[in-house]
Structure 1
């Protein structure tokens, strides 16, 4: 349950125990990104009628607005692998309903030499007929993507190849889940900024930019923006800087790639464009305190692209400065709200969540409803 401090205590004394006569929402979800919209959909599937509040437009703010949405099975945190598998299956189902949200060109994960044995063990243990994963060598890599640098092509080190991995469009995914949630009975308000929330007996009072809402339960699913309303222990804001490139001579890579050695990653875009990330990140208590030199980040991403790819002719065409809520162990911060008068958490996805957030939302909704996910 939320604990009021400072001036919130004086506010609390002014609030009537039954919400001051206002109508009361059962569940309010703060945040309409991929997390909040998929959670709204999952709750609506179970008969709840949540109210989703988004300060911008669905998928238009926070991490969702700038995420490249790479989807893969492997993670160096074993506890996320099962969630990733569920997430891949769910995104495949979404693609049937809304073609174009999930694209699967495959992904190479190039480990550091010290991690090679872990990658090989992962391929042995986790590969399935429905979702294969294998280690491959330099000559095979060359056949998959001719634009990769010569050091990949000549390398004797094994890399992990997931042919059915790829990427989602997080904004389109958020819009899909929000539309489905509304179709099932949820409510949605865009352009609604929550500036404060505090408990009052058996409910929570939310102050917005235009008025007040009362709710029995509140779920903060607003990524790093959660930190403007609460400061959960271990949660902090971290920048994520990506850059769009175009290359009229060499072209664009056809697959996704993550390189542990350089810390760079690449994702195809549309036609000749592609995205590169890996620039040095900054941390802060709240997003507003992040101090990032976008030009320097773009230059770092350019250097990474030319280290990973066999090109010197690419040029940056757009900068994508974003951020997310991180935890030190990269595990999400999930907390169910009390039955009445409290706030829960569905955040802390640490820049890795697009692949499994909808699957975790289903588990969260099942737990909230007293069922099994």
Structure 2
């Protein structure tokens, strides 16, 4: 709360994931100010339920992929300028942008140019440690502080000349009940027990196209070499029908599940996974599920591969978030031409029973929790709120 009245916060989100983070941050700010805070900006349904009326529907800008973005470009550009105008009119004590950098960073740049005195906080760093590291130094020009959700990101931004950065914790670590198995939920891998194997070919059409068939061949190879397992495939709802059709002739037919609750329930009882690289690897790791990770880049990114997957100052390269956080290649990873049943099947087989490979990975994944937890059991939202309040300008 400022001397002149409630803290005025302008928030900018561009998609559903940002709406979830934004709502939790709003709740924390309300708690920490005793309710002496007002919100304006862009929002989804969760943030709107907390009194922030969005200046336009979020679906106007929540698009992915080159083609859809180009088709919606005039609307997106118009919404950028509309958001900037609304922020300048609100004259807030602080602006918070959350993820969706293609939209939110354009807003932040223009606010900084028009009104340099308004502090701007960025919540969720773009992956400068993977792609276009030069963005970090540019971000320092228009962000006063960056809230990171991965513990290695403050050091990355320090090395790259990025804005001041604080690790505020990952939202998943705040909710261990989602990922950590309850007693008896994940049966022990006793002799003769049938393990549960997850197959996760990605959430985008392009990922499914490049990985689903080879994952099916890998499952067939495992079955042909005598391995028994229950196969579960968590799918995004919009892709479930396609996946069901394309897995109908697999040697072991997967149980296809949809929805976040069903996905996390499957993670809590699973014994191993074969997964596409992405955020899901962090979810699996925090659930303690040993995995093999695979990915195939599209043709354009293959040309740029020498520039990819190298975190500044790292002793190794990796495409797997848990490996980067751990600082070691605890999780086997296969890229492009390495993504074959000949390579994947033996790696997955080594996780389906009590092997040394499985034991080593389980120990590494247990260490991941301690690396990602905040001291004193603080929540990520409360920690983020502390930084926001410290950054907000105080009015006389």
TM-score bucket of the superposed structures, by smaller chain: under 0.3
Q: Which has the higher contact order (CA 8 A, sep 6+)?
A: 1
Q: Could you say which structure has the higher strand fraction?
A: 1
Q: Point out the structure with the larger helix share.
A: 2
Q: What's the TM-score once normalised by structure 1's chain length?
A: 0.28
Query: TM-score, with normalisation over the residues of structure 2?
Result: 0.27
